[in-house]
Structure 1
Amino acid sequence: MASAVSMLPLLADDIPDPSVVTPGVGGFAVFFFLAVVLFFLARSLGKHMRRARTNAAAQESADEETADTAGTADAADNTEPPDGARP
């Protein structure tokens, strides 16, 4: 225990002044890398959202077209009166 206590003054001398310490070039490089990754991630998200919106609109119009075609066929079949009925 005596040796651990005697080491404390040596460690206190190695601590730099907090007002002088800066992130430096390494901190800038990490921040810049994260900014570039975020830019490409947001760009990819925008592309995927546009594609999903386009696909949803195309699917909706295809569903409406199928429903219109089916409705027209049903209406054509129902124009003839049933057997024994008067027009």
Structure 2
Amino acid sequence: MASAVSILPLVLADDIPDPSVVTPGVGGFAVFFFLAVVLFFLARSLGKHMRRARTNAATQERADGAAPGTADPAEPAGTADPPDGARP
């Protein structure tokens, strides 16, 4: 039975390119550019969704009749019912 070492090709010192000469080339630029374009559209979509969520939250608070960030004055602090599934 042959050992795994004899199956692998041997790399000679003459086959290793000089690291200062090796560059990513056109392929590396294409991948980097593609990722930059995807990141641009992802950030734009995130901004749109955040604006929509902020607008919906403000609309919901106006519909409830409460000022943003205020609690109900008729109910003392800490006596509100916990949401479903939450532990007291």
What TM bracket, shorter-length normalisation?
0.5 to 0.7
Structure 1 unaligned runs (5+)?
A: 66-87
Separation (CA, whole Å) in 2 of partners of 1:60 and 1:11:
71
For 1:37 and 1:61, how far apart are their aligned partners in 2? Answer: 36
Deviations 1:20-78 (A, max 9, x none): 1101000000100100010000000000000000000000000008xxxxxxxxxxxxx
**Paired residue for 1:53?**
54
Q: CA deviation at 1:12?
A: 1.2
Q: Which residue of the partner structure matches residue 83 of structure 1?
A: none
Runs of 4+ in 1 over 3 A off after TM superposition: none
Structure 2 unpaired stretches of 5+: 67-88
The equivalences for 1:1-87 within 5 A come to: 11-64=12-65
In 2, Cα distance between the equivalents of 1:12 and 1:28?
A: 29
More helix by share: 1
Q: How many percent of aligned residue pairs carry the same amino acid?
A: 85
CA–CA distance in structure 1, aligned partners of residues 26 and 12 of structure 2: 26
So what's the TM-score if we normalise by structure 2?
0.62
**Aligned-pair distance for 1:17?**
0.7
